[in-house]
Structures are given as structure tokens and as C-alpha cells.
Amino acid sequence: MTELCYYEILQIEKSADKSTIKKAYRKMAMQYHPDKNPGNSEAEENFKAVNEAYQVLSDDEKRAIYDRYGKDGLEGHGQGGGFSRGGFDDLGSIFEEMFGGSFGGGSRQRQRKTYNYNLDTETNINLDFNEAIFGVKKEIKFKYKTACNSCKGTGAKGGKLSTCGTCNGQGQVHMRQGFMTFAQTCPHCEGTGQSVSEKCPDCSGLGYHEKEESFTVDVPEGVNNGNRIRVSGKGNIAPDGSRGDLYILINVKEDKHFVRNDDDIYLEVPIFFTQIALGDTIKVPSLKGEIEVKIPAGAKDKQQFIFKGEGVKSVNGYGKGKFIVQIKIIYPESLNSEQKELLEKLQQSFGIESKPHEDMFSGIFDTVKGWFK
Ligand SMILES: [Zn+2]
Ligand SMILES: [Zn+2]
């Protein structure tokens, strides 16, 4: 197999400038990144090649040597074949630029892999309905992990890891399925290639100690069930002292009367049938205290009255939601004799209007009878 030169690997011209090289590298690293191609060994090889090419071509001195003498020229120039490990810290910062913080955590761990927990951690808080709507200061208590000093987070006695016997240090095992062979992350060492032969006595092999911390968090106005608040620098602590982020997952209790849908609040209001017949103006509770609702005579069951801007303030800062009053018409369950009399009188006073079905169907009875003669 003829080996591709670094320019071919990155698919650029020999005269390419630095920004072109960087752009080409980002594109290809993104394409072949192991996180995007789990278990794909070809992508992994390509990823390594792309990294190797970038490390040389992005360095003016190395690039000059490479251009003149080729790969051989770089031997003994502090490269010694260890390309793919040497520059990882530098690459790490590029990945953070590329993928943002969420990816940063993952890639950081992939590179070092001397501790086996995530730096980001999560905890829950329960909020009352109103606390979520108006915001609140809450004391939260949470647990985080901090690397065990005796084993430097490895979980192995004295920090001494040995080569994983399951994958012989490769970090991958191969599975056959029919005529296909798949590479899989080693289940024993989870891809690190290293394993613990003797557990660290200080942390029982966990690699970390658990600690508790509490602080007051400012929950912003308008948060809702399922929202997460990120508190940077309050996560788990790595052996090198770097600390991940804490995510606070929000649970909101329901209210007896108000129903929340995003930034809108619904309130069901029972209205007696006579109020519907006569029309009425009523006061109902709202987020601000109370709100006046004008029920026109003849309003329908489930009719909604919408008050814009009287809902919840958007946590993202896009104004406020609606406050929606929905009416529910209530009829009396029973009538006393006086009420019955009054209603009968009322009915009679309407004359034919009080029997709309008779008015509508007058004449039809005779027509229908005629069909069967
Ligand atoms: Zn330990
Ligand atoms: Zn292994």
C-alpha cells in the first residue's frame, strides 16, 4: 500500500496556508471522530492519520522539514512515531472550539482515561409551582466525586495500572458476526487498555471519594419542569484538579387550580347557568393576584378568555405567556319548588322561542307521515 502524504490526507494543496490547513483538519477530524464512528476501526485509522498530518503541517518548523525531507526527516526531531499522543492537549482545545463545552468533557476524558467517572454531574431540586414561575433562591446540597490522592484516580494501588488482559491493551475487542468482524470497545477496561490488578485500599478501587457540598442557587424566573441549570465548576474533580459542571434538574410541583403549559397558564372557572344567561363580570385569581373576566350573555361552555402577557415570564427572555380562563357551565343539580316555578314562568314568558325544536320542525311531522302513505 502506498502511503498518502500529509497533504493528500488533508486533501489540500502543498501551498495551503495555515487557516486552510486548520479548516481542512477540522472538517476531516469531525468526519472521522471516534464519537461519531463508534466501533469503526477504519474511521479510527483515518482519524489518527488526520491528526498526525495536522500536527506536522500546523507547525512551521516541522512542516519545513517534512517538505524537504519527508517523514524520515522528522524522525529524531522529537517525533519518534509518537504522533498521535504527543499533541493531544493542543487538539483538545481545538475540539472544544469545534464542539463546545458539552463535547469538551467527553474528549478530555477520552484522552487521559486515568479515572473512570464523568466530570459533569447532576442533582435535582423540587420547586413549588410559584417558585418556578417567580424564581427563588434555593439552598442545594449535592454530592460530587473527587479523585483519590493515593491512586491518582486510577483505583489501582499506588496508581499502578497494568495492561488489560481482555484486549491486550488495545482498548478494543473484535466480534465476529457471520463473515463480518466488528471492533468494539473493550468491556473490561472500557477502552482504556489498562486495568487494575490490585485495588487501591484508600478508595476500595473506586478511584474517587464522595463529598458533599451545599450552596445557594438563584433559580431564575420562569423555569419549568425538566429544565436544567448549569453551574460551572461545581462538578466532579479530576486527578489534575480540574472540575466539571453541575447540572441541576428541575422538578416543579403541580398546582391545584392553575395548569401550566410552557409559558401559558390555564384556569378553569365554573360559571352558573344563570350567569351565562344574564352575562356577568367576575374576579378570578391570576398570577398577579386577580383578574376581571367579562362573561358575555350566551357564552359557550369551554369558551376561553385570553389575557396576553399575564402568563409566565419566559426563562429565555422572550416576553411573557398568556393567562387563559376557560369557563365551565354549571347547572343546578336539583331545584326546589320555588325555583321550579320561577323557571317555568321564565320559560312561558319566552313563548315559542323557549321551544326551539318545535319551531324548527313545524310541518316536518306531516311531511314525514306523508312518506309512508
Ligand atoms: Zn484510591
Ligand atoms: Zn481492555
Task: Among the bound ligands, name the one nearest to the CA of residue 165.
Answer: 2
Residue with cell 391570576: 286
Q: How far is the CA of 174 from the centre of ligand 2 (A)?
A: 11
* pLDDT for the residue numbered 318: 80
Distance 185 CA to ligand 2 centre (A): 8
If you average pLDDT over residues 241-246, what whole number do you get? 94
pLDDT at residue number 101? 36
Q: Which residue has the cell 463480518?
A: 180
* Grid cell of 266 as nine digits: 390555564
Q: What is the DSSP letter of 156?
A: B
Residue 164 CA, ligand 2 centroid: distance in Å: 5
Percent pLDDT > 70 in the chain is: 88
Taking alpha carbons only, the member of 75, 56, 44 closest to residue 184 is: 44
Beta-strand runs (E) in the chain? 121-127, 136-147, 162-163, 172-177, 180-185, 194-195, 208-219, 228-231, 246-252, 258-261, 264-272, 280-286, 289-295, 304-313, 320-330
Q: How far apart are CA 143 and CA 94, in angstroms?
A: 31
Sign of the Cα torsion 195, 197, 198, 199 reads: positive
Amino acid at 263: D
Residues 135 and 315: their CA atoms lie apart, in Å, by 10
Report how far ligand 1's centroid is from the alpha carbon of 205 (Å): 6
Q: How far apart are CA 291 and CA 236, in angstroms?
A: 48
**CB neighbour class for 153 (10 Å; exposed up to 12, middle 13-18, buried from 19):** buried
Contact 51, 91 (CB under 8 A): yes
Smallest-distance ligand from the CA of 202: 1
Which-ligand-closest: CA of 167? Answer: 2
* Ligand with minimal distance to 150 CA: 1
Boundaries of every domain in the chain: 6-112, 258-330, 337-371
Which pLDDT does position 180 carry in this prediction? Answer: 78
> What whole-number distance in Å separates Cα of residue 57 and Cα of residue 324?
62
* 155-175 confidence digits (pLDDT tens): 999 888 889 888 898 888 888
Span from the CA of 103 to the centroid of ligand 2 (angstroms): 24
- 325-368 pLDDT per residue, tens: 999 999 999 999 999 999 999 999 998 888 888 878 878 888 88
Residue with the larger pLDDT of the pair 290 and 371: 290
pLDDT of residue 306: 97
- How remote is the CA of residue 14 from the centroid of ligand 2, in Å? 40
pLDDT tens for residues 75-111?
655 443 333 333 333 444 444 444 333 333 333 334 4
> How many Å lie between the centroid of ligand 2 and the Cα of residue 56?
30
> Ligand 1 centroid vs 160 CA: distance in angstroms?
11
- Centroid of ligand 2 to alpha carbon of 135 (angstroms): 48
Task: Please tell me the distance from the alpha carbon of residue 324 to that of residue 304, in angstroms, as a whole number.
Answer: 6
**Domain range 258-330, its CATH number among 1.10.1040.10, 3.40.190.10, 3.30.910.10, 2.60.260.20:** 2.60.260.20
How many angstroms does the Cα of residue 201 sit away from the middle of ligand 1?
6
How much is the pLDDT for 14? 87
Residues lining ligand 1 (ion), CB within 5 A? 148, 150-151, 200, 202-203
In this predicted model, what pLDDT tens digit does every residue of 34-56 receive, in sequence order?
A: 878 888 888 888 888 888 899 88
14 alpha-carbon distance from chain centroid: 43
CA–CA distance, 312 with 324 (Å, rounded to integer): 12
- The mean pLDDT value of the chain amounts to 85
Ligand 2 mean position, distance from CA 13 (Å): 40
Ligand 1 centroid to 164 CA: how many Å? Answer: 19
Give pLDDT, residue 2: 56
Q: Does domain 6-112 have CATH number 1.10.287.110?
A: yes
Global pTM reads 0.59
- Asked whether 125 and 250 are in contact (CB, 8 A), the reply is yes
For residue 193, the ligand closest to its alpha carbon is: 2
Q: Is 159 helix (H, G, I), strand (E, B) or coil?
A: helix
Q: Which of 57-61, 107-111, 224-228, 363-367 has the lowest mean pLDDT?
A: 107-111
Q: Which of residues 87 and 273 earns the better pLDDT score?
A: 273
* Residues in Cβ contact with 193 at an 8 Å cutoff, skipping those fewer than 6 apart: 163, 164, 167, 169, 170, 171, 186
In degrees to the nearest 10, what's the CA dihedral of 127, 128, 134, 139?
-40
Cα 244 to ligand 2 centre (Å): 26
Cα of 245 to ligand 2 centre, how many Å?
Answer: 29
Q: What is the mean pLDDT of residues 229-240?
A: 93
pLDDT of residue 76: 57
